[in-house]
Amino acid sequence: MLTRLIAARRIAKFVAKLVATIPIVTLAGCLQGAIDANKRQLDEQQTQLDLLKQQVAALQTSHAYSTAQPPAGGCDKDVMAAATHKGGERMAAGDTVKALGFYQDAVTACPTSAAAQLNLANTYEAMGDRTEAVQHYRSAAAATGAEADAATVSKAREALNRLGASS
């Protein structure tokens, strides 16, 4: 009987130790699962970051022309043409905010260009900014010389009349 009692106590101690280690083993397994999940999430975020870096690089190269001010009274027609083209693409896609940036670049490249001023004015009007639109319609309507063709100046004057603003 004593032997059975001693054996039962040993078994009880063993079972108690075994029961005590089960939560530790389970906890270790849960922690490893959490570590693995965090690693997967970190890998996914790194992939997303790499993709964003590629997109930023692509955007930087798509805006590859210079936006520096031309010499006083000067006009960089190549920059104006590229910016006007990109602005037209953005307007056609319905992205007036990006179109506005390109048309502003065109005006920066050729401030006295009636066409550049008219595109910028049209964009401001499309965005609901009447004050800016009128200002740029006036600049287009007042353009003279090589930077002003009669049709563009006429369109600017018509817009001013439509908006009830004098040229």
Q: pLDDT > 70: what percent of the chain?
A: 77
Confidence of residue 25 (pLDDT cuts 50, 70, 90): low
Is 155 a residue whose pLDDT tops 60?
yes
pTM over 0.75: no
Is 124 a residue whose pLDDT tops 80?
yes
Task: Give CA 159 to chain center in angstroms.
Answer: 31
Return the pLDDT at 85: 96
Q: Which residue intervals of 63-129 are DSSP H helices?
A: 77-92, 96-109, 114-126
Q: What count of Cα atoms within 13 Å lies in the side-chain half-sphere of residue 147?
A: 24
Tokens of 144: 């003279």
pLDDT digits (tens, 9 = 90+) for 85-120: 999 999 999 999 999 999 999 999 999 999 999 999
Report whether 138 contacts 160 (CB < 8 A).
Answer: yes
Amino acid at 67: T
User: How far is the C-alpha of 129 from the C-alpha of 125, rounded, in Å?
Assistant: 5
pLDDT digits (tens, 9 = 90+) for 42-73: 888 888 878 877 887 777 766 555 555 545 56
CA distances from 149 to 43, 118, 143 (A): 57, 11, 9
